[in-house]
Amino acid sequence: MNLPTPLKQLWSGWMAVSHAIGVVMSSIILTILWVLVFGAYAIFLKIPSLFAKKTTPATFWWDVSGEVSDFQHQF
């Protein structure tokens, strides 16, 4: 582009300002999208667990009955 010097300076100044505006706007937009998308996803996954019956035991320990000799050759 062949522009006179004052217009080149105006153009480069405008490009610097528009770049700064673009960085701020993209950060804001991406942050809002991040919160909305992952927030909705988390809520969507959490809703079924609110209505599900809790059938899991308080512990995962199994009571084992048997003699110690029964466990000598497990594999």
Q: How many CA atoms lie within 13 A of 38 on its CB side?
A: 6
pLDDT, one tens digit per residue, over 22-71 is 999 999 999 999 999 999 999 998 888 888 777 766 777 777 676 666 66
pTM of the model as a whole: 0.49
Mean pLDDT for the stretch of residues 5-34: 94
Give the residue numbers spanning the domain of 35: 5-71
pLDDT at 6 over 80: yes
DSSP 47-63: HHHHHS---S-S-----
Residue 5 and residue 25: Cα distance in Å, rounded?
Answer: 30
- Residue 50 confidence (pLDDT): 82
Domain count, the chain: 1
CA 9 vs. chain centroid, Å, equals 42
- Residue 2 confidence (pLDDT): 81
Residue 65 and residue 25: Cα distance in Å, rounded?
Answer: 65
